[in-house]
Structure 1
Amino acid sequence: MLEYIRDGAEIYRQSFATIRAEADLDRFPPDVSRAVVRMIHASGQVDLTGDIAFTPNVVSAAHEALEAGAPILCDATMVAAGVTRRRLPRDNEVLCLLGDPRVPDLARDLGDTRSAAAVELWVDRLEGAVVAIGNAPTALFRLLNLIAAGAPRPAAVLGGPVGFIGAAESKEATVAHPAELEHLLVLGRRGGSAITSAAVNAIACEEE
């Protein structure tokens, strides 16, 4: 019989203790640090700290939005599935519109990806929302273009798309965007659904 730790709470305790011992968290405010710890936990990479871009008030802005009942707008069903509903303070709506029947035709009309087209359908829910983008750079680019054209501002943009084409560029564009959006992002090629939903979960509830 293989021996291993069987207590789930103890696994979490030791995991977070290991992350805090090994990761360089000094440059983060306490609330951002708590979110970064969970993002590292989701990725298994303590060097993630070197690629984190954030605004100082991003956690408080996102948490206050969730406390006010704001929706969480996700670019992928995997991001939405990773949000722990019991951590949400107001039973917040977690929404991914990638499967909306309007998306294929809209993508064709826009000459863009389905992920980007789904973001077009966020507009009436975007003001004060928490945006969680973990997969598609085109979704983040489309969001930035919509805001530049006058669409409502979300409370915060979390996570960051993963990949080799456009991922790094979309996040750099978010950091440099003239709207100065509140953001917590993994720069470069890294990112993904697990990291993004981990950021949402950490911000939704302070319990580690």
Structure 2
Amino acid sequence: MPLTPDPARGNAPPSIDADPRLQPAFTPGEIEARSFAIIDAEAGEPKPFPGHAWEIARRLVHTCADFDILPHLHLPDAAIAAGVTALARGCAIYTDTEMARAGMPLRRLSPLGCTVACLHALPGTAERAQERATTRARAAMELAGDRLGGAIVAVGNAPTALLALLDHLAAGGPPPALVVAMPVGFVNAEESKALFLERAALLTHLGPHGLPCLALRGRKGGSPLAAATVNALAEIALRGRG
């Protein structure tokens, strides 16, 4: 639509609020609710996932505006339940990037007693990465050690973080309560997620389904999606408290 001057405003173009292509202004809560309604409508019936799994999937679609991720989501009920239970008891949450950490607002997590930290902040991470000629994500995961036991580990960027977590588990390290496996990219992102899901399913001493894991298969992923997954779980946990 071409901008034509508004005589009442002199030579200034008309207000963008008057552009007929735009929907009316909404509050943040209204924007989210309207977005979810659009996603529900466009996803059709039956939904690709039931119950809490659809809540998580819908939030992920909302985060990236991409319905194409739906067939590639791994959202088993047992893993969702494990994540909600861990959050309800106030578990620690560890991320592989500051972006993912920043994407988990304390207003959701503090009422549950949860803490969020990026593993890169661990002392000695940069030095270890340089000494071993590896990524900071791998070095940080190696340094985390016993901290990972009972925590939620959200990986949205670095495949090397997932691979280091597999090494931690293979060495008998304490397992996280839940792993969110969503690294993004063209080098080892798809492969690391496939390998992690395979190995996690074999850890049946942790439960009949192995190590609980939520994942986005393939090349897509990212810190915003990893954070959105934890946020969706936190909302479910908060509702469960009544």
TM-score interval (norm. to shorter): over 0.9
**Equivalence for 1:108:** 130
Matches within 5 A, 1:32-71: 32-71=53-92
1:2 maps to 2:16: yes
Contact 2:162 2:181 in 1 (8 A): no
1:136 maps to 2:158: yes
Secondary structure of residue in 2 paired with 1:83: coil
- Name the stretch that deviates more: 13-22 or 130-139: 13-22
Contact 1:132 1:159 in 2 (8 A): yes
Q: Which amino acid aligns with 1:189?
A: R
- Name the stretch that deviates more: 168-177 or 48-57: 48-57
TM-score normalised over the length of structure 2: 0.80
Deviation, structure 1 residue 27:
4.1
**Equivalence for 2:43:** 23
1:172 maps to 2:191: no
**Equivalence for 1:84:** 105
**Equivalence for 2:221:** 191
Residues 98-155 of structure 1, C-alpha deviations (whole Å, 9 max, x = no match): 1334012222344421110001122221111111100000001110111111111111
2-side partners of 1:100 and 1:53: how far apart?
A: 30
Residues 14-51 of structure 1, C-alpha deviations (whole Å, 9 max, x = no match): 10011112236734231111011111111110121111
1-side partners of 2:233 and 2:24: how far apart?
A: 28
1:201 maps to 2:223: no
**Between Structure 1 and Structure 2, which shows a larger proportion of helix residues?**
2
Deviation, structure 1 residue 159:
4.4
Residues 66-104 of structure 1, C-alpha deviations (whole Å, 9 max, x = no match): 111110010000000000211114231101121334012
- Name the stretch that deviates more: 17-26 or 160-169: 17-26
Rg comparison, structure with higher value: 2
Q: Which amino acid aligns with 1:120?
A: E
Q: Which amino acid aligns with 1:124?
A: D
Q: Which amino acid aligns with 1:44?
A: A
* % identity of equivalent residues: 39
Contact 1:5 1:11 in 2 (8 A): no
- Name the stretch that deviates more: 93-102 or 139-148: 93-102
